[in-house]
Amino acid sequence: MEIPWEYRYAYRVKAMKSSFIREILKITQKPDVISFAGGLPAPTVFPVKEFQAAASHVLAESPEKALQYGTTEGYLPLREMIAERSARYGLNIGAANVSITSGSQQALDLIGRLFINRGDRVIVETPSYLGALQAWNAYGADYIPVPMDNEGMITSELEKALRKGAKFIYVLPNFQNPSGVTLSLKRRQELVRLADHYGTPIIEDDPYGQIRFEGEHLPPVAVVDSEYREENGNTYAGNVIYLSTFSKLLAPGIRIAWAIGDEKVISKLVQAKQGADLHTSSFNQMAVYEVSKNGFIDKHVEVIRATYKERRDAMLEAMEEFFPTEVSWTHPEGGMFLFATLPENLDTMALFDKAVEKKVAYVPGEVFHTDGSGGNTMRLNFSFSNPDTIREGIARLGKMLKEELYKK
Amino acid sequence: MEIPWEYRYAYRVKAMKSSFIREILKITQKPDVISFAGGLPAPTVFPVKEFQAAASHVLAESPEKALQYGTTEGYLPLREMIAERSARYGLNIGAANVSITSGSQQALDLIGRLFINRGDRVIVETPSYLGALQAWNAYGADYIPVPMDNEGMITSELEKALRKGAKFIYVLPNFQNPSGVTLSLKRRQELVRLADHYGTPIIEDDPYGQIRFEGEHLPPVAVVDSEYREENGNTYAGNVIYLSTFSKLLAPGIRIAWAIGDEKVISKLVQAKQGADLHTSSFNQMAVYEVSKNGFIDKHVEVIRATYKERRDAMLEAMEEFFPTEVSWTHPEGGMFLFATLPENLDTMALFDKAVEKKVAYVPGEVFHTDGSGGNTMRLNFSFSNPDTIREGIARLGKMLKEELYKK
């Protein structure tokens, strides 16, 4: 008999929508379309030479370790290096607080697995990162959206959300994907205080924290939390699970990221990871360690900052020049994305096909909103294209927007 | 306040037992213990030179692709190569039937995600692969165990199990982990017929299929199923999801495996994988493709077969010499494991510490049984240690067993 697959699927599959972003990315891979839709790092900043040297070194010196099964928590020297780098920012942790994950997406998935039963609530920024929403939809999460302004999540609205009861609060404090907004220090402190008061953990997703072009580095929420605890006589006992990745610092194709948290939580996360993929590639972890050690990342991040700043500037300048005055947008101090808001009568989902006709693409902002709002917003990526291409693409988009706006 | 993590965990975490195997592996990593407990390939057969050349080539020729984000389903040339190799065994499929996964463990996890709601039943061989049980425990699976003999799962017992209703049947047809037993052709045909009759999918996990030392290659269950369907006028419309991996053919540290199935199922699996880890390392997929193309695997597998056969022979001979006559064991025609059965009054879990005192380790067979049986069994790995070490380890184990057996 024919297998009735549909009938056999678990509720998770029924909850899975064919990802709109996936479809968008297919359309935008046409070679003549200038795509601001993806979230790709600039390949020109990949440290290719360093990876070549590292791969050679690892396979020459430790082939039996690099090609063999490894521990689920990850390669110890790499975890130690991550702990040391975190100490630099004020986080008093050791390797036992660190687990390697197969990209940050896996960390998000494992967090869903640890905390979310069907119908559990998760507090998210509005808008929020789509990959996290996709990961947690699979576990049946419900979302409590908290609005943002140009200082990030509006913490005075957070308390209302906390009162409804949530498994955790999810924030991207630096140059948020998709909005490009940074959570201010005052808001970080308020977030930590409220989360502590309600006993609600915080998931801090920080892929871009080091890619700041201007303004002052702000302490991660995990550090603000740790300081808050010390004032109250505790040593580090993480109310925060902190996530970051080598995808934006080195290269995403190697799939190496990490999670930091309380030892008890990390140990559960490692157990969950064991069932999910046993461990992350030994070879890749060792190669990343080789590339990163001796301070390479600190030098390399300067190259990334300079490159992305130039591209952000090109995008902001072109938007000033070509966008209708009715459109506003964020001015990110780092990262890879900015967010534009159109007049309310314009629908970026409906306009998407017109943009593609003009050979330019974006992500309709609606997909990042868990409350159905954001229909008049769009996310624009500035890290992938060079400044000339950015200028041309923004010109095309501005033309389309003006035609739409002034025909009415 | 202190975060009450325990309270916040989802049911999955509560179902997670700290893995006994993990603890065992820690104990057995002491340098003077001869461990038959792990499931590690012999590092002497890792194709190091070939990986060095492949890594160099990929980073020199396609760095922007190797280090960038990739598609969730995986690198197309690799998927095409897998489809072609599968055609050789009689499976009429294309790249759309193949998804790359981050090790077979991830495929097992994604299958749990696709099919298992809490309390759903899964039919498993007794004993069965622990990694699969761990993956599916997280989704709340219940198991219906079907006994095995030296021809594999006893299909006359399968029908009873099928009548109880199950989401799928899980089989490891070749040199099963942990038993070393191979499912006979007649049983494969019977399995396919019954699964078809009850409309129950089959998950075929085949990491070792090509590592056969003797006897005749048997068609994968997926091929038997495909032939059964053709006879009944269907083209391939997979009742079987077939899993295999490069971990045993090349090296596990690179974490590249694959799933083959009906296009509709593979497309859902890819959606689930997107939420789980976005994609598997582009660099590793491209390197594996470089190593594998032009028939390298076919030559290399001969080296693996010769090496493992010698080790299996060393283990079987030493067991004949040193084990008490009351113990029986399987004679695997391939793979990495054999399985020993002690007199019923001996408990391999209780004897484990004594074995470690004698500087030798195994896995107590009980952990592979979902029905609480197997207390007098043990799994022995023969792929990792060289023949002399195997002989010495089996001598130690035999001595311990004789002491236990004859003191009573």
Lowest-pLDDT choice from A231-240, B132-141, B389-398: A231-240
Q: Considering CB atoms only, which of B10, B238, B281 is closest to A113?
A: B10
Q: Note the pLDDT of residue B231.
A: 80
Q: What would the mean pLDDT of A385-404 be, rounded to a whole number? A: 97
Task: Write out the residue limits of the CATH 3.90.1150.10 domain(s) in chain A.
Answer: 5-47+298-407
For the cut 90, the answer to whether the pLDDT of residue A31 exceeds it is no
**For B107-130, what is each residue's pLDDT tens digit?**
999 999 999 999 999 999 999 999
Residue A235 has pLDDT above 60, yes or no: no
Residue B4 binned pLDDT confidence (cut-offs 50, 70, 90) = confident
Average pLDDT, whole number, for chain A? 94
Note whether A121 and A167 are within 8 A (CB): yes
Q: Which residue, among B256, B279, B284, has the nearest Cα to A55 in the 3D structure? A: B284
- Say if pTM beats, i.e. exceeds, 0.90: yes
**pLDDT for res A24:** 73
Residue B41 tokens read as: 């390939």
Counting one residue from chain A and one from chain B, the pairs whose CB atoms sit within 8 A come to 258
CB B102 within 8 A of CB B146: no
The residue to which tokens 């039963």 are assigned: A117
Cα angle B238, B244, B248 (rounded to 5 degrees) comes to 165
What percent of chain B has pLDDT above 90? Answer: 86
Cβ contacts (< 8 Å) between B167 and chain A: which residues?
8
pLDDT computed for residue A8 by the predictor: 84
Q: Which of B68, B225, B264, B300 to mutate to test the interface with A (most CBs of A within 10 A)?
A: B68
Are the beta carbons of A63 and B43 separated by less than 8 Å?
yes
Residues of B in contact with A284 (CB under 8 A): 281, 283-284
In the sheet where A142-149 sits, what is the strand order?
A98-101, A257-260, A240-245, A202-205, A168-171, A121-126, A142-149, A152-153
C-beta of residue A167 within 8 angstroms of C-beta of residue A115:
yes
pLDDT of A12 reads 82
Q: Which of these CATH numbers, 3.40.50.150, 3.40.1380.10, 3.40.640.10, 3.40.50.300, describes A48-296?
A: 3.40.640.10
The Cα B143–Cα A319 span in angstroms is: 59
| pLDDT at residue A302, rounded to an integer | 97
How much is the pLDDT for A18? Answer: 59
How is residue B89 annotated by DSSP? Answer: T
- Report, as an integer, the average pLDDT of A390-397: 98
Q: How does pLDDT run across A268-310, given as a tens digit for each residue?
A: 999 999 999 999 999 999 999 999 998 999 999 999 999 999 9
B52 in contact with A, Cβ within 8 Å = yes
Residue B91 pLDDT:
87
Cα angle value B91/B95/B99 (rounded, 5°): 100
What is the Cα–Cα distance from B175 to B330, expressed in whole angstroms?
A: 10
Would you tell me which residues 105-134 of chain A have a C-beta closer than 8 angstroms to some C-beta of chain B?
105-106, 109, 113-117, 120, 131, 134
Nearest chain B residue (CA) to A56: B52
CA distance A325 to chain B (A): 35
**Residue from A2, A16, A69 whose CB has the most chain B CBs within 10 Å, to mutate:** A69
pLDDT digits (tens, 9 = 90+) for B73-85: 999 999 999 999 9
Which tokens sit at B117?
């709601």
Instruction: Chain B: give the shortest CA distance to residue A288, in Å.
Output: 12
CA-nearest residue of chain A to B199? A3
By DSSP bridging, strand B363-364 and strand B377-381 are antiparallel
Q: Choose from A1, A2, A3 for mutation: most chain B CBs within 10 A.
A: A3
Number of alpha carbons in the 13 Å side-chain half-sphere of residue B408 = 7
Q: Taking CB atoms and an 8 Å cutoff, what residues of chain A touch B277?
A: 102-103, 105-106, 109, 255, 277
* B46, B109, B197 ranked by CB distance to A63: nearest: B46
**Which class for B406: exposed (0-12), middle (13-18), buried (19 or more C-beta within 10 A)?**
exposed
Do the Cβ atoms of A10 and B116 come within 8 Å? yes
Query: What percent of chain B is modeled with pLDDT above 70?
Result: 96
CA distance to partner chain A, nearest, from residue B253 (Å): 4
Nearest in space to A220 (alpha carbons), one of A94, A99, A86: A86
pLDDT for residue A1: 65
pLDDT band at residue B1 under the 50/70/90 scheme = low
- Residue A94 CA, chain-centre distance (Å), reads 24
The CATH code for residues B5-47+298-407 is: 3.90.1150.10
Give the residue range(s) of CATH 3.40.640.10 domains in chain A. 48-296
Among B9, B240, B272, smallest CA distance to A11 is for: B272
- pLDDT value at position A103? 98
Provide the shortest C-alpha distance from residue A131 to chain B (in Å).
7
Chain A residue with minimum CA distance to B101: A277
Q: Is the pLDDT of residue A161 over 70?
A: yes
Cβ contact A55–B59 (<8 Å): yes
pLDDT, average across residues A165-177: 97
Give tens-digit pLDDT for A302-333: 999 999 999 999 999 999 999 999 999 999 99
Contacts of A18 in chain B (CB under 8 A): 271
Please tell me which residue of chain A has the smallest CA distance to B104: A277
Mean per-residue pLDDT for A133-154?
96
Looking at residue B160, what DSSP letter applies? H
Name the residue with higher pLDDT: A21 or B13: B13
A23 touches chain B (CB under 8 A): no
SS (H, E, C) chain A: CCCCHHHHCCHHHHHCCCCHHHHHHHHHCCCCCEECCCCCCCHHHCCHHHHHHHHHHHHHHCHHHHCCCCCCCCCHHHHHHHHHHHHHCCCCCCHHHEEEECHHHHHHHHHHHHHCCCCCEEEEEECCCHHHHHHHHCCCCEEEEEEEECCEECHHHHHHHHHCCCCEEEECCCCCCCCCCCCCHHHHHHHHHHHHHHCCCEEEECCCCCCECCCCCCCCHHHHHHHHHHHCCCCCCCCEEEEEECCCCCCHHHCCEEEECCHHHHHHHHHHHHHHHCCCCHHHHHHHHHHHCCCHHHHHHHHHHHHHHHHHHHHHHHHHHHCCCCCEECCCCECCEEEEECCCCCCHHHHHHHHHHCCEECEEHHHHCCCCCCCCEEEEECCCCCHHHHHHHHHHHHHHHHHHHHHC
Q: Given an 8 Å threshold on Cβ–Cβ distance, is A68 in contact with B40? A: yes
Check if B345 contacts A (Cβ < 8 Å).
no
Question: Which of A45, A41, A43, A78 lies closest to A281 in space, CA to CA?
Answer: A78
Q: Does B22 touch chain A (CB under 8 A)?
A: yes
Residues of chain B with CATH 3.40.640.10: 66-296
Structure tokens at A171: 């924030």
The residues, ordered by sequence, that sit 6+ positions from B395 with a Cβ below 8 Å of its Cβ are B318, B321, B322
Tell me the CATH number for domain B66-296: 3.40.640.10
Q: How far is CA B138 from CA B118, B172, B304, B377, in A?
A: 9, 21, 34, 26
Map residue B378 onto helix, strand or coil: strand
Task: Examine the pLDDT at A117 and tell me if it is beyond 60.
Answer: yes
For residue range B320-371, what is the model confidence (pLDDT) as tens digits?
A: 999 999 999 999 999 999 999 999 999 999 999 999 999 999 999 999 999 9
- B120-160 pLDDT, tens digit each: 999 999 999 999 999 999 999 999 999 999 999 999 999 99
| ipTM value greater than 0.85 | yes
Average pLDDT, chain B: 94
pLDDT band at A4 (very low <50, low <70, confident <90, very high): confident
- Distance, CA of A353 to CA of A338 (rounded, Å): 21
Residues 352-391 of B with CB under 8 A from A: none
- Cross-chain residue pair B274–A22, CB shorter than 8 Å: yes
pLDDT score of B232 more than 90: no
B408 in contact with chain A, both atoms CB, cutoff 8 A = no
The tens digit of pLDDT for each residue in A348-364 reads 999 999 999 999 999 99
Kindly indicate the confidence band of residue B178, based on its pLDDT and cuts at 50, 70 and 90.
very high
pLDDT range class, residue B22, cuts 50, 70, 90: low
Identify which of A106, A114, A275 has the shortest CB distance to residue B277: A106
Percent of chain A with pLDDT over 90: 86
Contact across the interface for B262 and A5, Cβ inside 8 Å: yes
What b/e readout covers A324-348, taking b as 16+ CB neighbours within 10 angstroms?
Answer: beebebbebbbbbbbbbbbeeebeb
Q: Cβ atoms within 10 A of the Cβ of A226, count?
A: 25
CA A342 – CA A340 distance, rounded (Å): 7
A236 has pLDDT over 60: no
Which DSSP helix (H) or strand (E) runs through B101? strand B98-101
User: Residue A9's pLDDT is what?
Assistant: 87
At residue B398, the pLDDT reads 98
Q: Does residue B26 surpass a pLDDT of 90? A: no
Q: What is the mean pLDDT of residues B289-314?
A: 96
- For chain B, say whether A201 makes contact (Cβ under 8 Å): yes
Q: How confident is the model at residue B233 (pLDDT cuts 50, 70, 90)?
A: low
Q: Quickly tell me which residue has 């693996």 as its tokens.
A: B304
pLDDT given at position B201: 95
